[in-house]
Amino acid sequence: METSALPQQLAEIVDDFQALSEPDRLQLLLEFSRGLPPLPERLTDHPELLEQVVECQSPLFLTLDIADDAEKSVSLFFSAPQEAPTTRGFAGVLREGLDGLPAAQILAVPDDVPERLGLTRAITPLRMRGMAAMLGRIKRKIRESGAA
Amino acid sequence: MSVATDSNEKFAQYAHPERLVSTQWLADNLGTPGLVIVESDEDVLLYETGHIEGAVKVDWHTDLNDDVTRDYVDGEGFARLMSAKGISRDSTIVIYGDKSNWWAAYALWVFSLFGHEDVRLLDGGRDKWIAEGRSLTTDVPRPETTQYPVVERDDAPIRAYLTDVLGHFGNPLIDVRSADEYTGARTHMPAYPEEGALRGGHIPSAVSVPWARAAADDGTFRTRGELDAIYRGEAGLNEGDDVVAYCRIGERSSHTWFVLQHLLGFENVRNYDGSWTEWGNVVRVPIVKGSEPGVAPVPARQR
């Protein structure tokens, strides 16, 4: 699988998924679901600062901060209920794969990254679209901010 | 061997009380020989986060659908699935799931296409079990495979195709989608845009009864009296009616099919699983927009 175009931290996740059998890929997604950190307090107190990704089958809210540094480093924040482990898993992958990266590097991430996790058969294309929508929303918010 | 039914008073009011079990009944019957518990959720990973002890997982998308044709698995595929899940032809199956048993009802309907006789729903589903503080486990059972027979699917009694619906006009149709989907303001359910259609609205003469009206706040089915008021009262269904229910892909209408067939005792109820993702994309079929059911066209001759 061609992963050279991906940022290192995201490429490693894709490689991890690719190295596993299909049932183990689901288990890994579940681990990402469990590992999704809770929102910082300033956001739990202000849900209006989050944006809903309506393409996800379960409620998923996200927002991001862009640092005032030379690289315009991006911090990502996600919120999804415990009853939606697949959605949380997708969010967990994107957070670990993209958090802290320069804005320009996130914008350069190919849109087909969700398909590279090798989950499409087990999860179904329908469900995978939620993850693509999250990535699309992140990129749009970066573009709107004028950071890159 | 069938496992004894739940003699719960609420269930006794329904036409087929044997189709439901309570969370207490299930807790009392865990491990009973002949009983297989099946979890069927919308979220493909929810079972893995914890499930009722001994429950096996059946995924509506990857297990029950054919992966090429838009259809369900065939008799051989179903027999393979049942065997792998440790289910015999005479097993008592109790299905439960998330979202008021929406997907569990869908699985039950598909199991019924193969004539599996004793298949029941857990009233209130996964959420009620958890709300009552009952235990979950992440241990995945490894059931012994069974010799489930290859039974050909018998669609006609409970499944309607597009041509059946075109020939059904003049008989009751129930649209179980949200109000905005019914009027045509939306071509998909809120939050499910990928399952869209090129046209919005409803099948002419279909009355709107969103599926979730059959569920109480705790996800259990409403009582017999409440359900009669909704379906016989408001929706105007009469004894002996031939009814077709539909939604977007046939899952929400499976829930309504269960209510009409098993709880209210209508004997001729079919689920049109092609639903709006078929009807709303078919060239030249009649459609009505807005909140009124509209007039039924002359029925097409059935093939």
CB contact under 8 A, A126 and B62: no
Is residue B106 pLDDT above 50, yes or no? yes
Gap between the Cα atoms of A111 and A137, Å rounded? 11
Q: In this complex, which of A27, A55, A85 lies closest to B194 when CB atoms are compared?
A: A55
Mean pLDDT value across chain B: 94
Q: Residue B193: its chain A contacts at CB < 8 A?
A: 54-55
Interface ipTM: 0.80
B63 reaches A (C-beta below 8 A): no
Q: What is the pLDDT of residue B97?
A: 97
pLDDT tens across B132-182, in order? 999 999 999 999 999 999 999 999 999 999 999 999 999 999 999 989 889
DSSP letter for each residue of chain A: ---TTS-HHHHHHHHHHHTS-HHHHHHHHHHHHHHPPPPPHHHHT-GGGSEE-TTSSS--EEEEEE-SSTT-BEEEEEE--TT-HHHHHHHHHHHHHHTT-BHHHHHTS-TTGGGGGS-HHHH-HHHHHHHHHHHHHHHHHHHHHT--
pLDDT tens across A51-106, in order? 877 666 677 899 999 999 999 999 999 999 888 999 999 999 999 999 999 999 99
Q: In this complex, which of B49, B61, B191 lies closest to A124 when CB atoms are compared?
A: B61
Q: Which pLDDT band holds residue B303 (cuts at 50, 70, 90)?
A: very low
Nearest CA to CA, how far is A76 from chain B (Å)?
22
B46 reaches A (C-beta below 8 A): yes
Nearest CA to CA, how far is A6 from chain B (Å)?
27
Decide which of A22 and B233 is more confident: B233
User: What's the alpha-carbon Rg for chain A, to the nearest Å?
Assistant: 15
Q: What is the pLDDT of residue A4?
A: 52
Mean pLDDT value across chain A: 89
Q: What positions of B carry a catalytic annotation?
A: 247
Q: In this complex, which of B43, B190, B194 lies closest to A126 when CB atoms are compared?
A: B194
Element (H, E) at B56: strand B56-57
B49 reaches A (C-beta below 8 A): yes
- pTM for the whole structure: 0.90
Nearest-CA residue of chain A relative to B65? Answer: A124
Q: Residue B84: its chain A contacts at CB < 8 A?
A: none
* Chain pair A-B, CB pairs under 8 angstroms: 53
Nearest CA to CA, how far is A116 from chain B (Å)?
19
Q: Residue B195: its chain A contacts at CB < 8 A?
A: 126
Q: Residue A29: its chain B contacts at CB < 8 A?
A: 45
CB contact under 8 A, B44 and A56: no
pLDDT tens across B224-263, in order? 999 999 999 999 999 999 999 999 889 999 999 999 999 9
Gap between the Cα atoms of B263 and B222, Å rounded? 10
Nearest CA to CA, how far is B219 from chain A (Å)?
15
Phi-psi region of A36 (alpha: psi -120 to 50; beta: other; left: phi over 0): beta
Nearest-CA residue of chain B relative to A121? Answer: B62
